[in-house]
Structure 1
Amino acid sequence: MLNYTKQQLALRNGQDKPEIWVAYLGIIYDVTESRLWRNGKHYEHWAGQDLTEEIGDAPHTASVFEKFVVVGALV
């Protein structure tokens, strides 16, 4: 598994680079193909960030990440 820094993750925000990535519990997921993450925004959440702290406010569980491709680990 490849390792990425917070700075590298931040570039995958749907604006600076075409990829749209988010992290959860140290794992980075590619959400580029999700219609819910168009332009790097999902409701009040922004791509290119670690969403671990924010999942508690979501109307869904963390199992939502299971449908996305794992890109690497956040270090």
Structure 2
Amino acid sequence: MSQFFTAVGVAMLIFCAIWGYSWLEVWRDPKGELADFYARHPRTKAWVSLANRLWVPTLFAGLVSIVMGVMTVGKS
């Protein structure tokens, strides 16, 4: 069971790392280059907004999952 919690936690933290990096590089759109793309593809903007809202809870849940995985090592 501890391996499951650890794997889920690591997957969540990988998502957070990838999303954080892509947010810093692309999605925050500091030059306004994506505004036209968002206007043509509103679903993409909706997905980006959803991922932005889920980022912090996923980070927290990933850390909690890893802690639970560490705490349940050897308990069956």
TM-score range, shorter chain: under 0.3
TM-score scaled to structure 1, two decimals? 0.24
Task: Say which structure is richer in helix.
Answer: 2
Larger Rg: 2
